[in-house]
Amino acid sequence: MEPVEKTAPLNGLLKVKLAKISHVLYPQPPAGRSDDELTRPPPPYAIIDFDKSQVCCHAFYPGPHEPAVWALDGNRLTNGSAHTFDVTRQAELHIWLYQPADDSRDTNSDSFLGKTSFRPALIEKGTKSKEEWLDLHGGKGSISIMTKFIATKPLTITTEYPRGFELQFSSKTSMSALAPVSIYLKLDTQMHYAGNVFQESKLDNMAVRPNATQFDSPFVIPLKFDIEVPTKDISSAPGRQHFFFCVSLYHYNLFSHLMRKGPLDLAEARFYAAQILCAIDYLHERDIVLGKLSTKRIWIDSTGYLFIGDFDLFFRDISGSRLPWPQSSWEEAWHLRETSDAAKDHIAPEILRSQSHPSQIHASVDWWSFGIILHEMLVATVTFDLTDYAPADTTLELQSSFNGISVGETAKDFIMKLLSPDPLQRLGANGAAEIKSHPFFNGIDWPKLMRKEYIPKLRPPLPKKQDQAWASSSSPTPELSEEFKAQFAGWSYNRPEKQGT
Protein backbone atom coordinates (compact mmCIF):
# COMPACT_ATOMS: atom_id res chain seq x y z
CA MET A 1 0.00 0.00 0.00
CA GLU A 2 1.65 3.23 -1.09
CA PRO A 3 1.62 6.07 1.47
CA VAL A 4 -0.54 9.06 0.66
CA GLU A 5 1.36 12.30 1.17
CA LYS A 6 -0.99 15.18 1.88
CA THR A 7 -0.27 18.88 1.74
CA ALA A 8 -2.59 21.84 1.73
CA PRO A 9 -3.81 22.48 -1.83
CA LEU A 10 -2.42 25.62 -3.43
CA ASN A 11 -3.38 27.43 -6.59
CA GLY A 12 -1.49 30.50 -7.63
CA LEU A 13 1.40 32.23 -9.33
CA LEU A 14 4.83 32.98 -7.88
CA LYS A 15 6.60 36.03 -9.28
CA VAL A 16 10.38 35.92 -8.86
CA LYS A 17 12.86 38.68 -9.59
CA LEU A 18 16.62 38.70 -9.20
CA ALA A 19 17.73 42.24 -8.40
CA LYS A 20 21.38 42.64 -7.38
CA ILE A 21 24.66 40.79 -6.95
CA SER A 22 27.09 41.51 -4.13
CA HIS A 23 30.69 40.42 -3.52
CA VAL A 24 30.54 37.50 -5.92
CA LEU A 25 33.93 35.93 -6.56
CA TYR A 26 34.34 35.84 -10.34
CA PRO A 27 37.01 33.77 -12.10
CA GLN A 28 40.22 35.68 -12.77
CA PRO A 29 40.61 37.02 -16.34
CA PRO A 30 43.54 35.65 -18.36
CA ALA A 31 46.93 37.27 -17.79
CA GLY A 32 47.37 40.55 -19.66
CA ARG A 33 43.63 41.13 -19.98
CA SER A 34 42.11 44.26 -18.43
CA ASP A 35 38.60 44.32 -17.06
CA ASP A 36 37.26 47.24 -19.08
CA GLU A 37 34.14 47.61 -21.18
CA LEU A 38 35.74 45.93 -24.20
CA THR A 39 37.35 42.91 -22.62
CA ARG A 40 35.39 42.07 -19.49
CA PRO A 41 33.62 38.71 -19.68
CA PRO A 42 29.92 38.34 -20.43
CA PRO A 43 27.71 39.07 -17.41
CA PRO A 44 26.60 36.16 -15.23
CA TYR A 45 23.36 34.26 -15.60
CA ALA A 46 21.18 32.29 -13.22
CA ILE A 47 19.07 29.16 -13.50
CA ILE A 48 15.96 29.59 -11.35
CA ASP A 49 14.12 26.41 -10.39
CA PHE A 50 10.75 26.14 -8.68
CA ASP A 51 9.15 22.71 -8.36
CA LYS A 52 11.11 21.38 -11.40
CA SER A 53 10.17 24.32 -13.69
CA GLN A 54 13.30 26.20 -14.76
CA VAL A 55 14.07 29.53 -16.41
CA CYS A 56 17.37 31.12 -17.42
CA CYS A 57 17.86 34.70 -16.24
CA HIS A 58 20.71 36.78 -17.73
CA ALA A 59 22.27 39.76 -15.96
CA PHE A 60 23.62 42.74 -17.91
CA TYR A 61 25.99 45.69 -17.56
CA PRO A 62 24.06 48.99 -17.26
CA GLY A 63 27.18 51.01 -18.08
CA PRO A 64 30.80 50.68 -19.20
CA HIS A 65 32.22 50.45 -15.68
CA GLU A 66 29.19 49.44 -13.63
CA PRO A 67 28.73 45.99 -12.10
CA ALA A 68 26.25 43.54 -13.55
CA VAL A 69 22.62 43.81 -12.46
CA TRP A 70 19.47 41.82 -13.17
CA ALA A 71 17.04 44.74 -13.56
CA LEU A 72 16.93 48.54 -13.55
CA ASP A 73 13.57 48.99 -11.85
CA GLY A 74 14.96 48.76 -8.33
CA ASN A 75 12.67 47.22 -5.75
CA ARG A 76 9.63 47.13 -8.03
CA LEU A 77 8.42 43.69 -9.04
CA THR A 78 7.25 44.56 -12.55
CA ASN A 79 6.06 42.09 -15.17
CA GLY A 80 8.97 42.97 -17.42
CA SER A 81 11.62 41.98 -14.88
CA ALA A 82 9.93 39.08 -13.09
CA HIS A 83 9.65 35.41 -13.96
CA THR A 84 6.35 33.71 -13.13
CA PHE A 85 5.96 30.14 -11.92
CA ASP A 86 2.82 28.07 -11.45
CA VAL A 87 2.20 27.06 -7.84
CA THR A 88 0.29 23.91 -6.93
CA ARG A 89 2.05 23.04 -3.65
CA GLN A 90 4.75 24.15 -1.23
CA ALA A 91 8.22 23.89 -2.77
CA GLU A 92 11.70 25.33 -2.52
CA LEU A 93 13.13 27.89 -4.90
CA HIS A 94 16.66 27.07 -6.10
CA ILE A 95 19.04 29.47 -7.86
CA TRP A 96 22.30 28.46 -9.55
CA LEU A 97 24.65 31.25 -10.61
CA TYR A 98 27.17 30.89 -13.46
CA GLN A 99 29.78 32.98 -15.26
CA PRO A 100 29.74 32.24 -19.01
CA ALA A 101 33.09 31.76 -20.70
CA ASP A 102 31.81 33.38 -23.90
CA ASP A 103 28.58 34.30 -25.68
CA SER A 104 27.82 30.81 -27.01
CA ARG A 105 25.13 28.46 -25.69
CA ASP A 106 27.76 25.88 -24.73
CA THR A 107 27.82 25.68 -20.94
CA ASN A 108 30.66 23.26 -20.27
CA SER A 109 33.30 25.99 -19.98
CA ASP A 110 31.13 28.20 -17.75
CA SER A 111 32.24 28.77 -14.15
CA PHE A 112 29.96 27.86 -11.26
CA LEU A 113 29.63 30.87 -8.91
CA GLY A 114 27.37 29.38 -6.26
CA LYS A 115 23.90 28.18 -5.38
CA THR A 116 21.20 29.28 -2.96
CA SER A 117 17.83 27.88 -1.93
CA PHE A 118 14.92 29.03 0.16
CA ARG A 119 11.24 28.31 0.64
CA PRO A 120 9.14 31.32 -0.40
CA ALA A 121 6.10 32.31 1.63
CA LEU A 122 3.15 31.19 -0.47
CA ILE A 123 0.68 33.39 1.33
CA GLU A 124 -0.96 36.37 -0.31
CA LYS A 125 -0.21 39.44 1.81
CA GLY A 126 -1.54 42.52 0.07
CA THR A 127 0.36 43.78 -2.95
CA LYS A 128 3.84 44.27 -1.46
CA SER A 129 6.81 42.08 -2.22
CA LYS A 130 9.84 41.61 -0.01
CA GLU A 131 13.49 41.78 -1.01
CA GLU A 132 15.78 39.20 0.57
CA TRP A 133 19.54 38.77 0.39
CA LEU A 134 20.65 35.16 0.08
CA ASP A 135 24.20 33.85 0.55
CA LEU A 136 25.69 31.72 -2.20
CA HIS A 137 26.84 28.24 -1.20
CA GLY A 138 29.72 26.66 -3.07
CA GLY A 139 30.94 30.15 -3.94
CA LYS A 140 31.26 33.59 -2.40
CA GLY A 141 28.89 36.54 -2.23
CA SER A 142 25.13 36.96 -2.23
CA ILE A 143 22.23 37.89 -4.48
CA SER A 144 19.02 39.74 -3.73
CA ILE A 145 15.71 38.27 -4.73
CA MET A 146 12.11 39.43 -4.60
CA THR A 147 9.10 37.12 -4.58
CA LYS A 148 5.36 37.59 -4.53
CA PHE A 149 2.60 34.99 -4.40
CA ILE A 150 -0.72 35.64 -6.12
CA ALA A 151 -3.57 33.24 -5.36
CA THR A 152 -5.66 32.05 -8.30
CA LYS A 153 -8.67 29.81 -8.79
CA PRO A 154 -8.18 26.12 -9.63
CA LEU A 155 -7.90 25.38 -13.34
CA THR A 156 -10.97 24.04 -15.10
CA ILE A 157 -11.48 22.87 -18.66
CA THR A 158 -14.87 23.02 -20.35
CA THR A 159 -15.99 23.87 -23.85
CA GLU A 160 -16.33 27.48 -22.66
CA TYR A 161 -12.91 27.61 -20.98
CA PRO A 162 -10.93 30.73 -22.07
CA ARG A 163 -7.54 30.35 -23.67
CA GLY A 164 -5.09 29.38 -20.98
CA PHE A 165 -2.89 26.88 -22.78
CA GLU A 166 -1.63 26.77 -26.34
CA LEU A 167 -0.86 23.50 -28.06
CA GLN A 168 2.67 23.83 -29.39
CA PHE A 169 3.66 20.39 -30.58
CA SER A 170 1.76 17.13 -30.88
CA SER A 171 3.71 13.90 -31.13
CA LYS A 172 4.11 10.65 -29.28
CA THR A 173 7.28 10.88 -27.20
CA SER A 174 9.25 8.43 -25.10
CA MET A 175 7.48 9.67 -21.99
CA SER A 176 4.47 7.34 -21.93
CA ALA A 177 3.26 4.00 -23.21
CA LEU A 178 -0.34 4.82 -22.34
CA ALA A 179 -1.23 7.84 -24.48
CA PRO A 180 0.37 10.38 -26.87
CA VAL A 181 2.10 13.26 -25.11
CA SER A 182 1.96 16.80 -26.49
CA ILE A 183 3.70 20.04 -25.52
CA TYR A 184 1.66 23.02 -24.31
CA LEU A 185 2.46 26.63 -23.46
CA LYS A 186 0.64 28.05 -20.43
CA LEU A 187 0.04 31.60 -21.55
CA ASP A 188 0.06 33.47 -18.23
CA THR A 189 3.39 32.06 -17.01
CA GLN A 190 4.97 31.20 -20.40
CA MET A 191 5.89 27.80 -18.95
CA HIS A 192 5.91 24.72 -21.16
CA TYR A 193 4.20 21.54 -20.01
CA ALA A 194 3.96 18.04 -21.37
CA GLY A 195 0.35 16.92 -21.39
CA ASN A 196 -2.00 14.19 -22.46
CA VAL A 197 -5.66 13.27 -22.21
CA PHE A 198 -6.60 10.22 -20.19
CA GLN A 199 -10.04 8.61 -20.29
CA GLU A 200 -10.36 5.91 -17.67
CA SER A 201 -12.82 3.80 -19.66
CA LYS A 202 -10.33 3.39 -22.53
CA LEU A 203 -7.50 1.91 -20.45
CA ASP A 204 -8.35 -1.39 -18.82
CA ASN A 205 -8.00 -1.44 -15.03
CA MET A 206 -6.03 1.84 -14.95
CA ALA A 207 -6.76 4.74 -12.60
CA VAL A 208 -5.09 7.99 -11.60
CA ARG A 209 -2.53 7.52 -8.83
CA PRO A 210 -3.87 9.51 -5.85
CA ASN A 211 -0.55 11.01 -4.73
CA ALA A 212 1.04 11.71 -8.14
CA THR A 213 0.95 15.49 -7.57
CA GLN A 214 2.85 15.03 -4.30
CA PHE A 215 5.98 13.26 -5.59
CA ASP A 216 8.72 15.07 -3.71
CA SER A 217 12.00 13.56 -4.81
CA PRO A 218 14.73 15.73 -6.36
CA PHE A 219 14.97 13.13 -9.12
CA VAL A 220 11.32 12.31 -9.94
CA ILE A 221 9.02 14.65 -11.82
CA PRO A 222 5.57 15.10 -10.23
CA LEU A 223 2.21 15.54 -11.90
CA LYS A 224 1.67 19.31 -12.06
CA PHE A 225 -2.00 19.57 -13.04
CA ASP A 226 -4.75 16.94 -13.01
CA ILE A 227 -7.87 18.60 -14.41
CA GLU A 228 -11.01 16.51 -14.63
CA VAL A 229 -13.19 17.35 -17.61
CA PRO A 230 -16.96 17.30 -17.10
CA THR A 231 -18.46 14.75 -19.50
CA LYS A 232 -21.78 16.04 -20.82
CA ASP A 233 -22.57 13.08 -23.06
CA ILE A 234 -21.90 10.04 -20.93
CA SER A 235 -23.07 7.64 -23.67
CA SER A 236 -20.50 8.80 -26.22
CA ALA A 237 -17.64 9.29 -23.78
CA PRO A 238 -18.18 7.07 -20.72
CA GLY A 239 -15.84 7.34 -17.80
CA ARG A 240 -13.97 10.23 -16.28
CA GLN A 241 -11.61 12.20 -18.48
CA HIS A 242 -8.51 14.04 -17.27
CA PHE A 243 -6.04 16.49 -18.73
CA PHE A 244 -2.61 15.74 -17.28
CA PHE A 245 0.30 18.20 -17.33
CA CYS A 246 3.83 17.87 -16.00
CA VAL A 247 6.93 20.00 -16.44
CA SER A 248 8.40 19.94 -19.94
CA LEU A 249 12.12 20.29 -20.59
CA TYR A 250 13.98 22.23 -23.25
CA HIS A 251 16.87 19.84 -22.97
CA TYR A 252 17.51 16.23 -23.82
CA ASN A 253 17.33 12.87 -22.21
CA LEU A 254 20.12 10.55 -21.14
CA PHE A 255 19.71 8.49 -24.31
CA SER A 256 20.41 11.55 -26.48
CA HIS A 257 23.34 12.50 -24.26
CA LEU A 258 24.92 9.07 -24.74
CA MET A 259 24.31 9.20 -28.49
CA ARG A 260 26.17 12.53 -28.66
CA LYS A 261 28.97 11.84 -26.23
CA GLY A 262 29.54 8.10 -26.30
CA PRO A 263 30.76 6.20 -23.22
CA LEU A 264 30.97 8.26 -20.03
CA ASP A 265 33.92 8.29 -17.71
CA LEU A 266 33.52 6.47 -14.42
CA ALA A 267 32.97 9.61 -12.31
CA GLU A 268 30.19 10.95 -14.53
CA ALA A 269 28.50 7.55 -14.77
CA ARG A 270 28.67 7.18 -10.98
CA PHE A 271 27.14 10.65 -10.50
CA TYR A 272 24.23 9.85 -12.83
CA ALA A 273 23.77 6.34 -11.41
CA ALA A 274 23.54 7.69 -7.85
CA GLN A 275 20.66 9.96 -8.85
CA ILE A 276 18.82 7.18 -10.68
CA LEU A 277 19.27 4.95 -7.64
CA CYS A 278 17.73 7.61 -5.37
CA ALA A 279 14.78 8.01 -7.73
CA ILE A 280 14.06 4.26 -7.90
CA ASP A 281 14.42 3.96 -4.13
CA TYR A 282 11.93 6.81 -3.63
CA LEU A 283 9.38 5.11 -5.90
CA HIS A 284 9.86 1.69 -4.30
CA GLU A 285 9.17 3.23 -0.89
CA ARG A 286 5.76 4.12 -2.34
CA ASP A 287 5.27 0.63 -3.78
CA ILE A 288 5.75 1.90 -7.34
CA VAL A 289 7.65 -0.45 -9.64
CA LEU A 290 8.65 0.87 -13.06
CA GLY A 291 9.43 -2.37 -14.87
CA LYS A 292 10.87 -0.82 -18.03
CA LEU A 293 12.98 2.19 -17.10
CA SER A 294 15.33 3.23 -19.89
CA THR A 295 17.63 6.12 -20.77
CA LYS A 296 14.85 7.60 -22.92
CA ARG A 297 12.81 8.35 -19.79
CA ILE A 298 15.61 9.95 -17.82
CA TRP A 299 16.01 13.66 -18.49
CA ILE A 300 18.83 16.17 -17.93
CA ASP A 301 17.90 19.64 -16.70
CA SER A 302 19.69 22.98 -17.11
CA THR A 303 21.89 22.39 -14.08
CA GLY A 304 23.13 18.98 -15.22
CA TYR A 305 21.04 16.90 -12.80
CA LEU A 306 18.79 14.01 -13.80
CA PHE A 307 15.23 13.06 -13.08
CA ILE A 308 12.84 10.34 -14.16
CA GLY A 309 10.08 11.80 -16.33
CA ASP A 310 7.47 9.16 -17.07
CA PHE A 311 3.74 9.80 -17.44
CA ASP A 312 3.04 6.15 -16.65
CA LEU A 313 4.02 6.86 -13.03
CA PHE A 314 0.84 8.88 -12.63
CA PHE A 315 -1.34 5.79 -13.13
CA ARG A 316 -1.88 2.60 -11.19
CA ASP A 317 -3.36 -0.73 -12.20
CA ILE A 318 -6.36 -1.45 -9.98
CA SER A 319 -6.37 -5.14 -10.95
CA GLY A 320 -3.45 -5.86 -8.65
CA SER A 321 -0.43 -5.38 -10.93
CA ARG A 322 2.59 -3.74 -9.33
CA LEU A 323 3.51 -2.13 -12.66
CA PRO A 324 2.05 1.12 -14.02
CA TRP A 325 1.10 -0.54 -17.32
CA PRO A 326 -2.30 -1.56 -18.64
CA GLN A 327 -2.84 -5.27 -19.32
CA SER A 328 -2.42 -4.74 -23.08
CA SER A 329 0.99 -3.14 -22.55
CA TRP A 330 1.98 -6.00 -20.24
CA GLU A 331 1.10 -8.55 -22.90
CA GLU A 332 3.15 -6.59 -25.43
CA ALA A 333 6.14 -6.78 -23.06
CA TRP A 334 5.84 -10.56 -23.02
CA HIS A 335 6.32 -10.61 -26.79
CA LEU A 336 9.19 -8.11 -26.94
CA ARG A 337 11.73 -10.93 -26.81
CA GLU A 338 10.56 -11.98 -30.27
CA THR A 339 11.31 -8.56 -31.74
CA SER A 340 14.37 -6.38 -32.25
CA ASP A 341 12.83 -3.61 -30.12
CA ALA A 342 15.62 -2.01 -28.08
CA ALA A 343 13.18 -1.59 -25.17
CA LYS A 344 13.57 -5.26 -24.29
CA ASP A 345 17.19 -4.67 -23.27
CA HIS A 346 16.00 -2.79 -20.20
CA ILE A 347 13.26 -5.22 -19.14
CA ALA A 348 14.15 -7.93 -16.63
CA PRO A 349 14.26 -11.48 -18.06
CA GLU A 350 11.60 -12.76 -15.67
CA ILE A 351 9.14 -10.36 -17.31
CA LEU A 352 10.12 -11.31 -20.85
CA ARG A 353 9.95 -15.01 -19.99
CA SER A 354 6.44 -14.58 -18.56
CA GLN A 355 7.60 -16.23 -15.35
CA SER A 356 5.42 -14.14 -13.04
CA HIS A 357 2.02 -12.51 -13.10
CA PRO A 358 2.17 -8.69 -12.80
CA SER A 359 0.84 -8.88 -9.22
CA GLN A 360 3.80 -11.08 -8.21
CA ILE A 361 6.58 -9.05 -9.80
CA HIS A 362 9.50 -8.36 -7.46
CA ALA A 363 10.77 -4.80 -7.20
CA SER A 364 14.22 -6.01 -8.23
CA VAL A 365 13.08 -5.83 -11.88
CA ASP A 366 14.01 -2.14 -11.63
CA TRP A 367 17.51 -2.96 -10.43
CA TRP A 368 17.95 -5.03 -13.60
CA SER A 369 17.00 -1.94 -15.65
CA PHE A 370 19.36 0.10 -13.48
CA GLY A 371 22.22 -2.30 -14.24
CA ILE A 372 21.53 -2.15 -17.97
CA ILE A 373 21.49 1.67 -17.86
CA LEU A 374 24.83 1.77 -16.03
CA HIS A 375 26.29 -0.70 -18.54
CA GLU A 376 24.96 1.54 -21.33
CA MET A 377 26.60 4.62 -19.77
CA LEU A 378 30.00 2.95 -19.48
CA VAL A 379 29.97 0.99 -22.75
CA ALA A 380 27.57 3.22 -24.76
CA THR A 381 25.56 0.31 -26.11
CA VAL A 382 23.93 -2.90 -24.95
CA THR A 383 25.70 -5.65 -26.86
CA PHE A 384 24.12 -8.68 -25.23
CA ASP A 385 20.73 -10.30 -24.69
CA LEU A 386 20.52 -12.43 -21.56
CA THR A 387 16.91 -13.51 -22.07
CA ASP A 388 17.71 -16.93 -23.51
CA TYR A 389 20.86 -17.64 -21.52
CA ALA A 390 20.96 -20.21 -18.76
CA PRO A 391 22.09 -18.69 -15.44
CA ALA A 392 25.43 -20.49 -15.66
CA ASP A 393 26.20 -18.80 -18.98
CA THR A 394 25.15 -15.30 -17.94
CA THR A 395 28.45 -14.51 -16.22
CA LEU A 396 30.48 -15.40 -19.31
CA GLU A 397 28.22 -13.33 -21.57
CA LEU A 398 28.49 -10.30 -19.29
CA GLN A 399 32.26 -10.63 -18.97
CA SER A 400 32.66 -10.70 -22.75
CA SER A 401 30.58 -7.52 -23.11
CA PHE A 402 33.41 -5.60 -21.40
CA ASN A 403 36.15 -6.91 -23.71
CA GLY A 404 38.46 -4.09 -24.75
CA ILE A 405 36.72 -1.58 -22.46
CA SER A 406 38.36 -0.36 -19.26
CA VAL A 407 35.69 0.21 -16.62
CA GLY A 408 37.42 -1.23 -13.57
CA GLU A 409 36.78 -4.41 -11.62
CA THR A 410 34.55 -2.66 -9.07
CA ALA A 411 32.18 -1.41 -11.77
CA LYS A 412 32.15 -4.84 -13.44
CA ASP A 413 31.31 -6.56 -10.16
CA PHE A 414 28.57 -4.02 -9.47
CA ILE A 415 26.92 -4.44 -12.87
CA MET A 416 27.12 -8.23 -12.79
CA LYS A 417 25.42 -8.36 -9.39
CA LEU A 418 22.67 -6.04 -10.63
CA LEU A 419 22.16 -8.27 -13.67
CA SER A 420 21.73 -11.52 -11.81
CA PRO A 421 19.11 -13.62 -13.63
CA ASP A 422 17.61 -14.64 -10.28
CA PRO A 423 15.48 -11.70 -9.05
CA LEU A 424 15.83 -12.79 -5.42
CA GLN A 425 19.63 -12.96 -5.66
CA ARG A 426 19.93 -9.71 -7.61
CA LEU A 427 21.70 -6.84 -5.85
CA GLY A 428 18.91 -4.65 -4.49
CA ALA A 429 16.50 -7.51 -3.83
CA ASN A 430 16.74 -6.64 -0.13
CA GLY A 431 16.41 -2.90 -0.69
CA ALA A 432 18.39 0.04 -2.04
CA ALA A 433 20.65 0.20 1.03
CA GLU A 434 22.70 -2.78 -0.16
CA ILE A 435 23.24 -1.06 -3.51
CA LYS A 436 24.37 2.18 -1.87
CA SER A 437 26.85 0.24 0.26
CA HIS A 438 28.59 -1.35 -2.75
CA PRO A 439 32.17 -0.05 -3.23
CA PHE A 440 31.13 1.40 -6.60
CA PHE A 441 29.52 4.28 -4.70
CA ASN A 442 32.43 4.91 -2.32
CA GLY A 443 32.87 8.65 -1.94
CA ILE A 444 29.24 9.58 -2.66
CA ASP A 445 27.83 11.88 0.02
CA TRP A 446 24.15 10.93 -0.21
CA PRO A 447 22.71 13.88 1.77
CA LYS A 448 24.84 16.26 -0.33
CA LEU A 449 23.52 14.62 -3.50
CA MET A 450 19.91 14.96 -2.32
CA ARG A 451 20.54 18.67 -1.72
CA LYS A 452 22.02 18.92 -5.24
CA GLU A 453 25.25 20.44 -3.95
CA TYR A 454 27.55 18.58 -6.32
CA ILE A 455 28.69 20.57 -9.35
CA PRO A 456 27.81 18.51 -12.45
CA LYS A 457 30.70 18.01 -14.83
CA LEU A 458 28.54 18.49 -17.93
CA ARG A 459 25.40 20.52 -18.58
CA PRO A 460 23.14 20.77 -21.63
CA PRO A 461 23.36 23.86 -23.87
CA LEU A 462 21.29 26.78 -22.63
CA PRO A 463 17.81 26.62 -24.14
CA LYS A 464 16.51 29.06 -26.70
CA LYS A 465 12.97 30.24 -26.23
CA GLN A 466 11.82 28.66 -29.47
CA ASP A 467 13.42 25.28 -28.77
CA GLN A 468 11.01 22.37 -28.46
CA ALA A 469 11.33 19.72 -25.81
CA TRP A 470 11.93 16.00 -26.17
CA ALA A 471 15.10 15.82 -28.23
CA SER A 472 14.43 12.12 -28.81
CA SER A 473 11.22 12.84 -30.70
CA SER A 474 12.09 13.19 -34.37
CA SER A 475 8.95 11.84 -36.03
CA PRO A 476 6.81 14.28 -38.03
CA THR A 477 3.80 15.85 -36.38
CA PRO A 478 0.78 13.67 -37.14
CA GLU A 479 -2.63 14.95 -38.20
CA LEU A 480 -5.04 15.11 -35.28
CA SER A 481 -8.27 13.15 -35.50
CA GLU A 482 -11.58 14.99 -35.20
CA GLU A 483 -12.24 13.08 -31.97
CA PHE A 484 -8.95 14.31 -30.55
CA LYS A 485 -9.54 17.91 -31.70
CA ALA A 486 -12.94 17.94 -30.02
CA GLN A 487 -11.21 17.40 -26.69
CA PHE A 488 -9.43 20.76 -27.11
CA ALA A 489 -12.48 22.92 -27.80
CA GLY A 490 -11.75 26.47 -26.63
CA TRP A 491 -7.99 26.08 -26.96
CA SER A 492 -5.81 27.70 -29.62
CA TYR A 493 -3.48 25.62 -31.79
CA ASN A 494 -0.52 26.82 -33.87
CA ARG A 495 0.54 24.08 -36.24
CA PRO A 496 4.36 23.99 -36.43
CA GLU A 497 5.87 24.67 -39.84
CA LYS A 498 7.67 21.83 -41.56
CA GLN A 499 11.40 22.15 -41.99
CA GLY A 500 12.47 23.61 -45.28
CA THR A 501 9.27 25.59 -45.90
Domain termination residue (choose one: 81, 116, 151): 151
- Residue-wise pLDDT for 113-162, tens only, equals 999 999 998 887 655 677 889 999 988 888 888 899 999 888 776 554 43
Please tell me whether residues 307 and 320 are part of one structural domain: yes
Please tell me whether residues 304 and 240 are part of one structural domain: no
**pTM exceeds 0.85:** no
Residue 433 has φ and ψ, to the nearest 5°, of: -60, -40
Closest alpha carbon to 86 in 52, 35, 116 = 52
Mean pLDDT, residues 461-468: 53
Please tell me whether residues 278 and 292 are part of one structural domain: yes
**Number of domains observed in the structure of the chain:** 3
Instruction: Give the integer Cα–Cα distance in Å for 443 and 424.
Output: 28
Higher pLDDT, 174 or 67: 67
Residue 128, domain CATH: 2.60.40.150
Higher pLDDT, 501 or 494: 494
Please tell me whether residues 279 and 298 are part of one structural domain: yes
In a domain, 158, yes or no: no
Q: In the chain, count H helices and then E strands.
A: 10, 18
Instruction: Give the integer Cα–Cα distance in Å for 19 and 68.
Output: 10
- Residue-wise pLDDT for 19-54, tens only, equals 888 877 777 655 555 555 456 778 889 999 999 999
CB 419 within 8 A of CB 371: yes
Closest alpha carbon to 355 in 325, 379, 333 = 333
Which residues have C-beta within 8 Å of that of residue 301, sequence separation ≥ 6?
49, 52, 54, 249, 251, 307, 460
3-state DSSP call for residue 212? helix
Average pLDDT, the chain: 75
Q: How confident is the model at residue 60 (pLDDT cuts 50, 70, 90)?
A: confident
Closest alpha carbon to 232 in 243, 241, 245 = 241
Q: Is 43 exposed, middle or buried (CB count within 10 Å of its CB: 0-12, 13-18, 19+)?
A: middle
Instruction: Give the integer Cα–Cα distance in Å for 157 and 164.
Output: 9
Residue 307, domain CATH: 1.10.510.10
Question: Strands of 12-22's sheet, edge to edge?
Answer: 83-87, 12-22, 142-151, 130-135
Please tell me whether residues 439 and 300 are part of one structural domain: yes
CB 222 within 8 A of CB 328: no
Please tell me whether residues 174 and 284 are part of one structural domain: no
Closest alpha carbon to 180 in 488, 492, 478, 489 = 478
In a domain, 499, yes or no: no
pLDDT at 400: 62
Mean pLDDT, residues 160-179: 59
* Count of Cβ atoms closer than 10 Å to residue 422 Cβ: 12
In a domain, 134, yes or no: yes
In a domain, 207, yes or no: yes
Sort residue 133 into left (φ over 0), alpha (ψ -120 to 50) or beta: beta
Domain termination residue (choose one: 151, 176, 200): 151
- Percentage of residues of the chain with pLDDT beyond 70: 64
Amino acid at position 226, single letter: D
Find the DSSP H helices in 353-474.
Answer: 365-379, 391-401, 409-418, 433-436, 446-450
3-state DSSP call for residue 123? coil
- Residue-wise pLDDT for 381-424, tens only, equals 655 555 555 554 556 566 666 666 778 899 999 999 999 988 99
Mean pLDDT, residues 248-270: 85
pLDDT at 273: 98
* Count of Cβ atoms closer than 10 Å to residue 151 Cβ: 12
Please tell me whether residues 419 and 282 are part of one structural domain: yes
pLDDT at 326: 47
pLDDT at 207: 67
Please tell me whether residues 112 and 233 are part of one structural domain: no
In a domain, 421, yes or no: yes
* pLDDT(340) > 50: no
Please tell me whether residues 55 and 129 are part of one structural domain: yes
In a domain, 283, yes or no: yes
Please tell me whether residues 46 and 190 are part of one structural domain: no
pLDDT at 25: 75
In a domain, 279, yes or no: yes
Count Cα neighbours of 106 within 13 Å in the Cβ-side half-sphere.
Answer: 5
Which residues have C-beta within 8 Å of that of residue 191, sequence separation ≥ 6?
53, 84, 85, 86, 185, 247
Q: Are strands 165-170 and 492-493 parallel, antiparallel or unpaired?
A: parallel
Residue 183, domain CATH: 3.30.200.20
Q: What is the DSSP code (8-state) at residue 364? A: T
In a domain, 170, yes or no: yes
pLDDT at 439: 98
Q: What is the DSSP code (8-state) at residue 441? A: G
Amino acid at position 269, single letter: A
Please tell me whether residues 327 and 223 are part of one structural domain: no
Span of 195-204, 243-252, 468-477 with lowest mean pLDDT: 468-477
Mean pLDDT, residues 251-267: 87
Determine what percent of the chain falls in helix, strand and coil, rounding each to the nearest 5.
Answer: 25, 20, 55
CB 8 within 8 A of CB 127: no
Q: Containing domain of residue 187, as a range?
A: 165-249+475-493
Please tell me whether residues 287 and 433 are part of one structural domain: yes
* pLDDT(328) > 70: no
